[in-house]
Amino acid sequence: MPNPASLDARATLSGILPPVTMPFDSRGRVELSALKEQIDFMIANGVGGVVVGGSTGEGHTLERTEFAAVMRAAHDATAGRVPFLAGLIVNSTQEAIDRIHMLEGMNIAATQITPVHYLFKPDAEGTVQHFRTVYDETGIPILIYNVIPWNYLSSDLMLRIMREVPGVVGMKQSSGDLKSVSDLLLGAGPGNVVLSGIDALLYPSFALGAHGAITALTAAVPGVCVKLWDAVRRGDHATALDIHKRLNALWNSLYHDNLPACVKYIQHRQGLGFFHPRAPMQPVSDAQKAGIDKAMLDLPL
């Protein structure tokens, strides 16, 4: 497994890194064989890596046995073609450590880990120690996924963690907070990565210098997001702005409370199998499908 002392995070963890959605059947069971079709689709569209177990992937619903099976199947499907990131949405230091130990033998570029998300939150010292202990016990580079509303990390705390915990190689900043993306880019060390998790503002994130993105839209339409990333990198801001407007229209057609279901429907509209969210999340409705279909007509797929 990678050692952050030798990991070139900005080379390894950059560009469009879509979260893999979970292919649940109508009874909520994971169809492991369907993961390869989705990962092949993402890689064919030029992504820079894949993330399994994040929020778009409903990772918070996976119990331990499912987690291990999903990670193994997705890792095998990726087959080393792009970096593989493992997402953890757990509520204790020990659970994070135990789940990472379940990944032994896999080539994990990094783990994407949220702060704890239940009612009680640690103070700044406890948060630093949480990520330090996870890294010390596993040796796997960590991206912190800053998205939990009631345990929302300030830019100063995130920068402190990256300074004090060498294994924390970067941050994925979400919650629509472009100001924090800017602050992180200003303060990050030369080996750190700052990724955007802000679907509606991918273009300004990239224009500010974000090193890539992990978002629902990158899973839904990875090829379009790659085109946006490439346009910004070559300085073609007219094309980038046009793609941004089209992507934003698609984003405005989605609903946050069943966002993974909407993403799976968009993937299905591009030829992938149709899968369900895990209950009690609501399936995509006919009205949602109509709005998505309309927005997709304007995308450069």
Catalytic residue IDs: 145, 172
Strand-pair category, 15-16 with 212-213: parallel
Q: How many residues does the chain have?
A: 301
Please tell me the distance from the alpha carbon of residue 233 to that of residue 214, in angstroms, as a whole number.
17
Burial pattern 195-228, b for ≥16 Cβ within 10 A else e, equals: bbbbbbbbbbbbebebbbbbbbbbbbbbbbbbbb
SS3 169: strand
For tokens 């993330």, the residue is: 51
The first and second tokens of residue 158, run together, are 């995130």
3-state secondary structure 218-263: HHHCHHHHHHHHHHHHCCCHHHHHHHHHHHHHHHHCCCHHHHHHHH
